Amino acid sequence: MVYESRSADAVLPLTQLGEEDKLFQATIRKFAREQIGPHVRAMDEAGVFRKDLIQQMFELGLMGIEIPEEYGGQGGSFFQSVLAVEELAVVDPSAAVIVDVQNTLVNNAMMRWTNEEQRRRYLPRLASDTVASYALSEAGSGSDAFALTTRAEDKGDHFLLNGRKLWITNAAEAGLFLLFATVNPEAGYRGITCFLVERGFAGFGVGKKEDKLGIRASSTCELTLDNCRIPRENVVGEVGKGYKIAIETLNEGRIAIGAQMTGLAQGALNHALGYAKERKQFGKAIADFQGVQFELAEMATQVEASRLLVYNAARLRQSGLPFLTEAAMAKYFASQVAENTASRAVEIFGGVGFTKDYPVEKLYRDAKIGRIYEGTSNMQRMTIAKQLLGMR
């Protein structure tokens, strides 16, 4: 058996979709399996995502799904962004997170919070050739997202930014960064301001690339700002109101992380099903043993439950209805399902599942980040509990 197992076609999602979304999903599925699939292992080992595949994602419209057609985008829906992230993650969660950050974080924030001049300047680039990155985290600012220390000094027609950002996804490839800094540390979250930072701005640098456990082809880097001059027209929204942009964007981004983890779990299940039919012990396929059948049944049930939570949250958001609790539930549950399903898949493969020659080992490593980034599992539980108890 080769690394890209034949089991990739073993199971399709059970959840029903409309015809337009079905066609969209099928297109992404075909692209992921035929174009990305053959390179997954090499990209994971090198820790680099191929530039030609990123270009293909632009050409397919995957980097500007919700961007209106007048700005060069696809004019699609938030739900389609979620579908794309899920389908890519079935094959490679690293590809999924690149598309996720571009669409559900940066493009989403750009369309909601920027002015018309900013949209006309940047959205066509984001839809055609410019990878974007979302820069919030710092060494002392993780779950406590607004404990950041990167300083923005108001100089009238521009701001001078100084500080460091850590664990920034897409940073190695990005040409545009949605970056958060404080104009007044003493004001707490009320000092947070959002800026559009271009890679070529003087004083801005992309530093060390992290050597990670999983999603290795997705770049995660340090950013440095040394008297980085940002024109005042690159402020997103109002000075001191960046916290609102960050909170609302991350609430929506959690749905897409739920989709990424659901796709990962589906990929692990697909591989486990295919292998169980092929692997023979005691004169018959291991899929004929009830113990294996029960494992597969539980895995499939959890994956479908995860998918339903994610789709429900996505549809609520798309309909303009409250979705905070549902987004937290989707992200929390999907990350658990991904880790559990990938672990069980490794066990179904047995000894070979513990080697890098088969894809479930990688999916197991990739799954761990789901419980950490864009809000840890504890943060999701806290959000859910507060909403249930009517606490703020």
Q: Is 104 helix (H, G, I), strand (E, B) or coil?
A: helix
The answer to whether residues 239 and 183 touch, using CB atoms and an 8 Å cutoff, is yes
The answer to whether residues 178 and 196 touch, using CB atoms and an 8 Å cutoff, is yes
Q: Is 68 helix (H, G, I), strand (E, B) or coil?
A: coil
Of these residues, 66, 222, 361, 374, which one is catalytic? Answer: 374
Residue 278, CA distances (Å) to 268, 271, 360 in order: 16, 11, 15
Alpha-carbon span 370 to 3, nearest angstrom: 23
Give helix then strand counts, H and E, for the chain. Answer: 12, 10
The answer to whether residues 217 and 92 touch, using CB atoms and an 8 Å cutoff, is yes
Task: State the CB neighbour count (10 A cutoff) for residue 114.
Answer: 22
Whether 117 is catalytic is: no
Alpha-carbon span 361 to 323, nearest angstrom: 34
The answer to whether residues 360 and 271 touch, using CB atoms and an 8 Å cutoff, is yes
Rg (CA), the chain: 21
In sequence order, the 6+-apart residues with CB closer than 8 A to the CB of 274 are: 5, 6, 7, 8, 10
Alpha-carbon span 313 to 206, nearest angstrom: 34
Residues annotated as part of the active site: 374
